[in-house]
Homo-oligomer: A and B are copies of this chain.
Amino acid sequence: MSTAAGIGQANELKDLCLNLALKAREASRKLALVRGELKNAWLLGSAHALVERSSEILAANARDIADAPTHGLGAAAIDRLRLTPDRIASMARALGEVAALPDPVGEILEASRRPNGLEVRKERVPLGVIFMIYESRPNVTVDAAALALKSGNAAILRGGKESLATNLALMGILEAELTRAGLPRHAVQLVPTTEREAVGCLLGLADLIDLAIPRGGESLIRRVAAEARMPVLKHYQGNCHVYIHDPCDIAMGVKIIVNAKTQRPGVCNAAETLLVHREVASAFLPRAARELRAAGVELRGDAEARAIVPEMVPAVPSDWDEEFLDLILAVGVVDSLDEAIEHINRHGSHHTDAIVTTDLESARRFVAEVDSSAVMVNASTRFNDGGELGLGAEIGISTDKYHARGPCGLRELTSTRWVVIGSGHVRGA
């Protein structure tokens, strides 16, 4: 980019990003004041239009699928990219579910009358502009737009270039419905270039964009976190643990680790490591191993685990830190609750960790001392999910401690502000 032409292109890209963000900021000012009814009208109108115009969407998607090999996509990625009438119906259903959620904007979180008579309240307001960066699944385009708008925020969306035609078709529909509902046209925008530098450029605009949300592989998330000058809602990994304590209900423990590992192995709240207390290891491990292996799980055990179940592959040290996202499970035997907690806090990703025990005090200690976004007692790690915890749809899961931790729904896309009403109050001291 040291040639004049290169610099010209860089400036053009900068202008394009700035313009996009300025339009989003302006739309966000208007959106913050919009009543919930209008936002719901847009959500329901869009749900209807997605189904009605599904042939357009499918045609665009077919072009992306045809081009997929040129982007080097494998079979799994192509499957994620592919839309069907069923998948479009499920996108539409998701819009209806978001419409049914309560509007977080304007919610009054606290209110009091101060001793001097001032009326004081803290109320919920939108964050402003949200920039979402994601990979191949086109349903994220619809979900992210819905959650951002329902929470009163403007959205800038950047999908993968392999899904560009599909995303443009979806956006055309969402935009037409914005106009029809009387909402600002730039409330949702797609980044209008596939140039990679556009992402970095937008991540620098901290005055115009309030939050960045990367969704995809760890390398994408790390790149966004490193470049963003605004807050980032994220988790890098879900290296989740199930710890089988003594005393426990062994059948329950088997059921929970099988569910946590195998029900959907590719997601962030699936278990990656099983820890077992020495006292129950010889009773628990053979039964668990039998069921896990029957479900196709490769077990990588430490020396003690392998002494009990010799079919296990020997675990190497890096296995304790790995998010397999696959039918692989690291298995270790520990001496005590303390050792389990210590292992989880050191090797885990502070995402979701579970204990299986019948002892109340051990459960209380595990809950108090494991430093994760969600801690489970006698329940599968898979329950760390916005829908399961009662938040409704989620835009992602945060393992950070600042702002929001755990599943992030509509409320987590908002801020607050104070409103103070007096009758000529002034301060004396």
Task: Note all chain B residues with C-beta closer than 8 A to A383.
Answer: 118, 420, 422, 425, 427
Q: If A33-B368, A416-B405, A418-B384 touch, does A378 touch B424 (CB 8 Å cutoff)?
A: yes
Question: Among B382, B407, B424, which residue has its beta carbon within 8 angstroms of that of A256?
Answer: B424
A426 interface residue (CB < 8 Å to B) = yes
* A416: B residues at CB distance < 8 A: 405-406
Asked whether A127 is an interface residue with its Cβ less than 8 Å from the other chain, the reply is yes
Residues of A in contact with B, size category:
35 or more
Given A374-B420, A418-B389; A380-B210 close (CB under 8 Å): no
Say whether A120 contacts B389, CB under 8 Å. yes
Closest B residue to A406 by beta carbon equals B418
Q: Is the CB of A376 within 8 A of B424?
A: no
B120 close to A375 (CB less than 8 A): no
Interface residues of A in 352-397 (CB under 8 A from B): 363, 367-369, 371-380, 382-384, 388-390
CB atoms of A418 and B375 under 8 A apart: yes
**Interface membership of A77, Cβ < 8 A:** no
A426→B259 contact, CB < 8 A: yes
CB pair B403–A402 under 8 Å, yes or no, is yes
By beta carbon, the residue of chain B nearest A251 is B424
Interface of A is mostly: mixed
List B contacts of A420 (CB < 8 A).
374-377, 379, 383-384, 389
Shortest CB distance A345–B (Å): 8
In the complex with contacts A252-B424, A390-B112, A403-B402, A419-B380 CB distance below 8 A: no
Are A421 and B33 within 8 A (Cβ)? no
A128 in the interface, Cβ–Cβ < 8 Å? yes
From known contacts A417-B373, A417-B374, A418-B384, infer whether A210 and B402 are also in contact, taking CB-CB under 8 Å: yes
Known: A402-B415, A419-B375. A427 touches B367 (CB 8 A): no
Instruction: Give CA–CA (A377, B421) in the complex, Å.
Output: 5
Out of B33, B114, B127, name the residue touching A388 (CB < 8 Å).
Answer: B114
A26-47 contacts to B, CB under 8 A, are: 29, 32-33
The one of B256, B368, B384 in contact with A426, judged by C-beta atoms closer than 8 angstroms, is: B256
Whose C-beta in chain B lies nearest to the C-beta of A210? B401
> A80 an interface residue at 8 Å Cβ cutoff?
no
The 3 closest A-B pairs by CB, nearest first: A379-B422, A259-B426, A401-B415
Residue contacts A-B, CB under 8 angstroms, 14 given: A120-B389, A122-B406, A125-B371, A252-B424, A256-B426, A372-B417, A374-B419, A375-B420, A376-B420, A377-B422, A378-B425, A380-B425, A383-B427, A384-B418
